[in-house]
Structure 1
Amino acid sequence: MEIRLDHKTAIITGGGSGIGAAISLAFAKAGAHVFLIDLEESKAEQTLAQIRESGGAGSFVQADVSRQQEMIAAAKSVVGQTGRIDILVNNAGIAHVGKLSTTTETDFDRIYQVNVKGVYNGMYAVIGQMEQQGSGVIINMASIASTIGLPDRFAYSMSKGAVLNMTYTVARDYIGAGIRCNAIAPARIHTPFVDGFIAKNYPGREQEMFEQLSKTQPIGRMGRPEEVANLALYLCSEQASFITGTNFPIDGGFLKLNT
């Protein structure tokens, strides 16, 4: 079964690297015109180059997801170019390591601004256009941290719990407008961020820690960005038209098989 997004306009926040880049590439390959919203133009241009090399359509819009007016302007720019917004993937996010007593107010505010307010801003910026069209799909990137307690992830878990509940309420409030809203909850996915985290916190022990972190998933390895992208592609397609208000773990068995 080939999944296609022909003639669809898709916005991917944080679309220049990691999971966001994989989603952007998958959507463009499926026929969508992909708009990468990112702060770093250099990373986005690398992804756009791959999209164009494969014959896909992609554009870059620079915006800070934590600033509502920038996101509104970005959405207006997309509509000005294509006339519509069919898909929003709220992928942009940042991490933080620390429990309550080691999380400063500055740390907490920083996570909130990007991971919570950024998702709100993204949805706020597109929801009017989707209502006007009478259709639209929103995917919010949550995490397994949204439903369980992970050690030393106080602020990050807070933010992803908020993302999950925003997903549920938007799905309920806009189901009558033909808008679907779902969440994806990955476990550990092997991205450049993970490599950087290991190098920074475990110098000289990179391979050991990579293997240790990989084995926290019962399946025995980290996920790949392309695997998350494949799930997002399905959920944004017509094949998933009966699915809304749902959270989809993609975790190598972490939630159900860990003992």
Structure 2
Amino acid sequence: MDPAKFPKSAVPLNHAQYGPITDENLKGINQGKVALVTGGARGIGRAISIKLAISGANIAILDRLESELSETKRLAEEHGVKVKTYVVDVTDIEALRGVLKQVESDLGEIDILVNNAGVSPGKPQWMESFEDFWRTIEINFKSTMATSWYMLPKFRERKRGVIVNIASRAATVDFPFAVGYNSSKAAVARATFTLQEEVELDGLGDGVQLYALHPGGVPTTMSKKEIREELLQKYPSMTQHGTDFQALFKDPPELCGATVTYLAAGKAKELRGMYWDCRQDIEKVKAYGREKLQNEGKYTLKVEFLEGYENEP
């Protein structure tokens, strides 16, 4: 992605916790709830787990990285909540379902589901096998749907529950070397919209909310990958992708973690079902009003045509 091709926000974005999502204001807002976080061993997932712990939620953390899971558990437990960790491959659906049942046995009914597990190999299509491409789809999208399919019937029955799906700016733009990542994140955002629409049809939107959240430009292990030298030689213009693009990753994972925690507490129901960017001021955006946001087609995926050609049913 060439950053020069895209406009910059005229309104300053947040690159750190602010106002309603400072640790002080997050304390206790999810007291006694049970939250489950996939991909929680490090990076964004670790920050989400810790912020949820600050808010008083007991945490179930899923990942394949056992040693990193232990450290996240230790950090979350410092806030006086119960924390359980589970080593699982989220693409193994039967194993994943087994873990979800075990979490309910260990901690009780799950109130908050955060689908954070994700990968991006960073290869062009011709350097990636179909199996590798599909593995990205399964981690980023299939696992998100598997956990949602398990939890939504329970949330519907109880008429309460929150799902936060970590999406990406990649869901809304085109750039090379990420066909699996871009496609899966767009799918996550579209599925979030659709599932919320179904919840609304049954009059459950006040209690059951889903969100698709861009976590900001976080310098995680995944985002720090450098473009291979042979690709730079073949595509010299991609030097910018490897320099200016990397400079976009300047947001701490705590910003996303705090935003997820705020959403999990039902503090921004106006944005339910929508895709949005955690760097934007959450109170400013929700104050715009849900009806107005929907009528104007804000915070949703769409295609624009030439003037005069409308996207008819």
Identity of aligned residues (%): 27
In 1: Cα distance, 2:182 partner to 2:266 partner: 31
Instruction: Tell me the number of residue pairs that the alignment of Structure 1 and Structure 2 aligns.
Output: 241
Shift of 1:62: 2.3
SS at match of 1:150: coil
Corresponding position: 1:61 with 2:89: no
- 1:10, 1:34 within 8 Å by CA — same for their partners in 2? yes
**Unaligned residue ranges in structure 1 (runs of 5+):** 203-207, 253-259
Matched with 1:5 is 30
| Correspondence list, 1:56-205, <5 A | 56-175=81-200, 176-177=203-204, 178-195=207-224, 197-198=225-226, 201=228
| Correspondence list, 1:18-29, <5 A | 18-29=43-54
SS at match of 2:223: helix
Shift of 1:201: 4.4
Quickly say closer, same or farther: Cα 1:46–1:133, change in 2 above 3 A: same
Quickly say closer, same or farther: Cα 1:186–1:83, change in 2 above 3 A: closer
Quickly say closer, same or farther: Cα 1:61–1:251, change in 2 above 3 A: same
In structure 1, what residue type is equivalent to 2:95? Answer: E
From the CA coordinates, give the structure whose radius of gyration is larger: 2
Among 256, 262, 266, which residue is 1:238 paired with?
266
**Unaligned residue ranges in structure 2 (runs of 5+):** 1-19, 230-239, 281-313
Matched with 1:229 is 257
Structure 1 length-normalised TM: 0.84
Higher relative contact order (CA 8 A, sep 6+): 2
SS at match of 1:168: helix
In structure 2, what residue type is equivalent to 1:241? Answer: K
In 2: Cα distance, 1:57 partner to 1:211 partner: 42
* Higher mean displacement: 52-61 or 97-106: 97-106
In structure 2, what residue type is equivalent to 1:236? Answer: A
Matched with 2:235 is none
In structure 2, what residue type is equivalent to 1:189? Answer: V
- 1:142, 1:160 within 8 Å by CA — same for their partners in 2? yes
- 2:36, 2:59 within 8 Å by CA — same for their partners in 1? yes
In 2: Cα distance, 1:241 partner to 1:8 partner: 18
User: CA RMSD, aligned part only?
Assistant: 2.3
Matched with 1:30 is 55
Quickly say closer, same or farther: Cα 1:212–1:109, change in 2 above 3 A: same
- 1:103, 1:155 within 8 Å by CA — same for their partners in 2? no
Structure 2 length-normalised TM: 0.71
Matched with 2:283 is none
SS at match of 2:62: strand
* Higher mean displacement: 5-14 or 180-189: 180-189
SS at match of 1:238: coil
In structure 2, what residue type is equivalent to 1:247? Answer: Y
